[in-house]
């Protein structure tokens, strides 16, 4: 068990048994297997959680189907909205506890985990308003004597598979719209970060969601996630994670023509013009890449800097990076935590080595951070690379760590072309004081989100998702409801 000082509710939760949530009951995996989850800041084992198998997935799908065909169907849209709001209230009452759990399980900074818990709560509140507003249309068909209208119906049983970088946020981005639409679901948290999802599962039961509406299955993705994707009675998979696993899910879901939505990787360009407020751009570029240690799908990992300001921007960014305090996110002095696991750390360090090998120069960072109590955790120094060209591995592949490459450019047309020269198209940033230039470039960029003079701003109301290999479908807002509903067209001859 962990030795860091934690809130008593958190210690109590960690000491309790953590099973799978199936049909409203917490149960062991059929095999009895469990696995441990760590605090990546300290390497300490926090607790053990159930490690599900294929038969547990089947039980959960049966529970979700029974709830979909039974009690959940009878609950009115207004009551669904109240349940969502009640869950949000319970999460708010437990916000400090959820924040601390999120901090220790994923290696976050507490302040940042707190912001993310608030984002998750907002998401449930936003979707609490939707169940009573999911409307069909009456359609002006040209056939005489015919009434035609559409209904938007829940798609059915959904498998929700989420990554470890924003565990509670990613779970809420899927649970909230799926619940609002009237679906039932099996949530599969990521291996390294199961804890907040399990706690939210407890709160959902307390809120009064009927048994089987929300099921939660922990265990290895290759076994449990894949079993969900292949299960013939799962109607839809909503996945956020790597492009590689996303492609596999697309292939595995073909046999059932399952509905899928995918939020995948990115290598997002963040573009700074010489007429930008430079101090704002430095701060923006820092947060764009180093928020959550760069483990952000929208991370501004390719920093395109106009050649006239590239050197100054690089130096100011590197200076901030050098002054950043790394450590255990429970310590209020700490500004940046570890990456999520030893494997992730090795991957990131491997990319840094490849950058050096290919001729790039780390202006700050460039190695594992050690000393000062960091040795047991998985810390990587915030790294700014100069001397990079577009063809280098570090400029092309998603690193998913605290590593940014600075790429000088000359003109708007040139930077648009280079920014788009990527298999990904998730997000982009533009920093300039020229509004015409900003909108011209925004229209040219192939990205699902474009931020102008800001970065990593999200709202439950605004659609989010990717172009190209960053995925398909849009979460948030009205768009997410389309992912969890089917349209039915009803024809009546009255004449």
Q: Is 245 in the site for ligand NAP (CB under 6 A)?
A: yes
- Using CA atoms, how far apart are residues 391 and 40, in angstroms rounded to an integer? 33
Least Å distance, CB 265 to ligand NAP, is 3
Q: From 128-136, 240-248, 274-282, 404-412, give the range in contact with ligand NAP by CB under 6 A.
A: 240-248
Parallel, antiparallel or unpaired: strands 467-468 and 424-425: antiparallel
Residue 37 contacts which entry, Mg ion, ligand NAP, none (Cβ below 5-8 A, type-dependent): Mg ion
Q: Note if 297 is an active site residue.
A: yes
Q: Is 264 in the site for ligand NAP (CB under 6 A)?
A: yes
Parallel, antiparallel or unpaired: strands 236-240 and 467-468: unpaired
Q: Is 194 in the site for ligand NAP (CB under 6 A)?
A: no
Chosen residue from 10, 88, 109, 190 binding ligand NAP by CB under 6 A:
190
Q: Are 451 and 428 within 8 A, CB to CB? A: yes
For the chain, helix (H) and strand (E) counts, in that order, are 17, 21
Q: Spell out, one character per residue from 267 to 306, where the chain touches ligand NAP: x when CB under 6 A holds, - when not.
A: ------------------------------x---------
Q: Is 158 in the site for ligand NAP (CB under 6 A)?
A: no
Q: From 51-59, 99-107, 242-250, 285-293, give the range in contact with ligand NAP by CB under 6 A.
A: 242-250
Q: Is 161 in the site for ligand NAP (CB under 6 A)?
A: yes
Of the candidates 282, 289, 287, 291, the residue with the CA atom closest to the CA atom of residue 309: 282
Q: Are 61 and 186 within 8 A, CB to CB? A: yes
Q: Is 378 in the site for ligand NAP (CB under 6 A)?
A: no
Q: Spell out, one character per residue from 446 to 485, where the chain touches ligand NAP: x when CB under 6 A holds, - when not.
A: --------------------x----x--------------
- Using CA atoms, how far apart are residues 299 and 286, in angstroms rounded to an integer? 10
102, 158, 297, 475: the active-site residue: 297
CB closer to ligand NAP out of 220 and 373: 220
User: CA 75: distance to chain centroid?
Assistant: 29
Q: Where are the alpha helices (DSSP H) in 129-269?
A: 167-181, 195-207, 226-230, 243-252
Residue 190 contacts which entry, ligand NAP, Mg ion, none (Cβ below 5-8 A, type-dependent): ligand NAP
The footprint of Mg ion (CB under 5 A) covers 37-38, 105, 192
What is the C-alpha end-to-end distance of the chain, expressed in Å?
Answer: 73
Residue 240 contacts which entry, Mg ion, ligand NAP, none (Cβ below 5-8 A, type-dependent): ligand NAP
Report the SS3 class of residue 22: strand
Q: Beta-strand (E) ranges in 102-165?
A: 146-154, 157-161
Residue 285 contacts which entry, ligand NAP, Mg ion, none (Cβ below 5-8 A, type-dependent): none
CA distances to 113, 118, 137, 242 from 94, rounded to whole Å, are 13, 11, 40, 31
CB closer to Mg ion out of 46 and 481: 46
Q: Note if 263 is an active site residue.
A: yes
Q: Three-state SS across 275-291?
A: CCCHHHHHHHHHHHHHH
CB closer to ligand NAP out of 318 and 460: 460
Let me know the angle formed at the C-alpha of 489 by 485 and 492, rounded to the nearest 5 degrees.
150
Least Å distance, CB 268 to ligand NAP, is 10
Q: What share of the chain is helix, strand, coil (3-state, %, to 5)?
A: 40, 20, 35
Chosen residue from 103, 184, 226, 364 binding ligand NAP by CB under 6 A:
226
Residues 398-437 that bind ligand NAP (CB under 6 A): 398, 400, 426
CA distances to 159, 401, 427, 450 from 297, rounded to whole Å, are 21, 10, 9, 14
Give the interface with ligand NAP as residue ranges (CB under 6 A): 161-165, 188, 190-191, 220-222, 225-226, 229, 240-242, 245, 248-249, 263-266, 297, 398, 400, 426, 466, 471
Where in the sequence numbering do the catalytic residues fall?
Answer: 263, 297
């Amino acid at each position: 068990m962990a030795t860091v000082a934690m809130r008593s509710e958190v210690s109590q939760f960690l000491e309790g048994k953590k099973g799978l949530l199936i049909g409203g009951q917490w149960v062991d995996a059929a095999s009895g297997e469990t696995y441990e989850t760590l605090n990546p800041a300290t390497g300490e084992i926090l607790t053990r959680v159930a490690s599900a198998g294929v038969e547990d997935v089947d039980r959960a799908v049966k529970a979700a189907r029974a709830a979909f065909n039974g009690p959940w169907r009878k609950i009115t849209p207004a009551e669904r909205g109240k349940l969502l709001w009640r869950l949000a209230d319970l999460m708010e009452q437990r916000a400090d506890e959820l924040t601390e759990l999120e901090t220790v399980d994923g290696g976050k900074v507490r302040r940042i985990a707190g912001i993310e818990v608030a984002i998750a709560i907002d998401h449930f509140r936003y979707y609490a308003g939707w169940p009573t507003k999911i409307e069909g249309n009456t359609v002006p068909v040209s056939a005489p004597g015919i009434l035609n209208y559409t209904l938007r119906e829940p798609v059915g049983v959904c498998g929700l598979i989420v990554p470890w970088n924003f565990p509670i946020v990613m779970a809420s981005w899927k649970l909230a719209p799926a619940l609002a639409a009237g679906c039932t679901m099996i949530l599969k948290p990521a291996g390294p970060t199961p804890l907040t999802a399990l706690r939210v599962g407890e709160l959902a039961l307390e809120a009064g969601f009927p048994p089987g509406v929300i099921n939660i299955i922990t265990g290895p993705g290759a076994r449990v996630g894949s079993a969900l994707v292949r299960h013939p009675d799962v109607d839809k998979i909503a996945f956020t994670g790597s492009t590689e696993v996303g492609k596999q899910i697309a292939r595995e879901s073909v046999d059932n023509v399952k509905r899928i939505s995918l939020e995948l990787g990115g290598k997002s360009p963040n573009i700074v013009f010489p007429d930008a407020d430079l101090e704002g751009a430095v701060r923006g570029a820092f947060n764009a890449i180093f928020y959550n240690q760069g483990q952000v799908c929208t991370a501004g990992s390719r920093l395109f800097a106009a050649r006239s300001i590239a050197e100054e921007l690089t130096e100011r960014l590197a200076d901030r990076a050098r002054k950043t305090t790394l450590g255990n996110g429970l310590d209020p002095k700490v500004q940046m935590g570890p990456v999520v696991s030893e494997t992730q750390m090795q991957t990131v360090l491997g990319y840094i080595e490849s950058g050096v090998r290919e001729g790039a120069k780390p202006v700050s960072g460039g190695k594992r951070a050690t000393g000062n109590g960091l040795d047991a955790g998985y810390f990587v120094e915030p790294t700014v690379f100069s001397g990079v060209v577009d063809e280098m591995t570090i400029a092309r592949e998603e690193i998913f760590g605290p590593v940014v490459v600075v790429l000088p450019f000359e003109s708007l047309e040139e930077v648009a072309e280079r920014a788009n020269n990527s298999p990904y198209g998730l997000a982009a940033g533009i920093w300039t004081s020229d509004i015409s230039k900003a909108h011209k470039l925004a229209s040219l960029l192939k990205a699902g989100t474009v931020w102008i003079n800001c970065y990593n701003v999200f709202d439950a109301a605004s659609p989010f998702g990717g172009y190209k290999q960053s995925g398909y479908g849009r979460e948030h807002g009205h768009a997410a409801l389309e992912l969890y509903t089917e349209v039915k067209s009803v024809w009546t001859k009255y004449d």
